[in-house]
A = this chain, B = another copy of it.
């Protein structure tokens, strides 16, 4: 077996074990056993447990990014948003443990910003960020909510949905969830003309009602004092 094949095998084994046991409970013995070699042999390919896991995460991201085919036919913000959210949802759903590892563990590394995973993650998240930024720049979205917050909302929601799903808490239809998330974000962010109009109307109405009230009271007074 070639060097690359073995490394690939180890990465695959690591991914499989990770998704079965979660990162905290992943032990190299399991990875080695699944790859069909002994523990020590792992160190011929990776400098240690962490490097193996990071490489596995990188491989995952590269797989993801390699599959990307920006669909130019989708132009409407709402559609683009639904599309990227659905994609992110699907991916994380497939490899939740790996996603968690990157999100929770690697990101805490002081050197995270200098790691390749940082760039890969940025490129991965940029599909979402691009849609958001484009919409804000085009004036289609309000600019009163930071895009970073929107991103956190989207991915936070995705993580929770995924996580809940994987632990048996209710069903998780990726497309419906993507629809709902995208719709919510879109409607919440789209530069809300109706709101303003309705508020203006309310104010005007309240003033009219005020006046009507005062007239009624005046009329009542008048009636009483000038009774027949």
Q: Which residues of A contact B (CB under 8 A)?
A: 22, 24, 104, 107-108, 110, 112, 144-146, 148-150, 152-153, 155-161, 163-164, 167-170, 177, 180-181, 183-189, 192-198, 200-202, 204-205, 207-209, 211-212, 214-223, 225-228
Whether the Cβ atoms of A163 and B201 lie closer than 8 Å is: no
Whether the Cβ atoms of A160 and B155 lie closer than 8 Å is: yes
Could you say which residues of chain B place their CB within 8 Å of the CB of A196?
194, 198
Could you say which residues of chain B place their CB within 8 Å of the CB of A198?
196-197, 200-201, 204
Whether the Cβ atoms of A186 and B188 lie closer than 8 Å is: yes
A207–B150 Cα distance when bound, in Å, is 36
User: Could you show 5 A-B contacts with beta carbons less than 8 Å apart?
Assistant: A186-B188, A187-B193, A214-B215, A216-B218, A220-B221
Whether the Cβ atoms of B189 and A145 lie closer than 8 Å is: no
Could you say which residues of chain B place their CB within 8 Å of the CB of A153?
153, 156-157, 160, 181, 184
A148–B177 Cα distance when bound, in Å, is 11
Closest chain B residue to A149 by CB distance?
B180
Could you say which residues of chain B place their CB within 8 Å of the CB of A214?
212, 215-216
Whether the Cβ atoms of B180 and A164 lie closer than 8 Å is: no
Whether the Cβ atoms of B207 and A204 lie closer than 8 Å is: no
A205–B205 Cα distance when bound, in Å, is 9
A129 to chain B, nearest CB (A): 14
Could you say which residues of chain B place their CB within 8 Å of the CB of A227?
225
Could you say which residues of chain B place their CB within 8 Å of the CB of A144?
180, 183
Closest chain B residue to A170 by CB distance?
B148
Could you say which residues of chain B place their CB within 8 Å of the CB of A167?
107-108, 112
A210–B79 Cα distance when bound, in Å, is 25
Could you say which residues of chain B place their CB within 8 Å of the CB of A155?
156, 160
Could you say which residues of chain B place their CB within 8 Å of the CB of A226?
225-226
Known contacts: A170-B148, A218-B218, A226-B226. The answer to whether A158 contacts B156 by CB under 8 A is yes
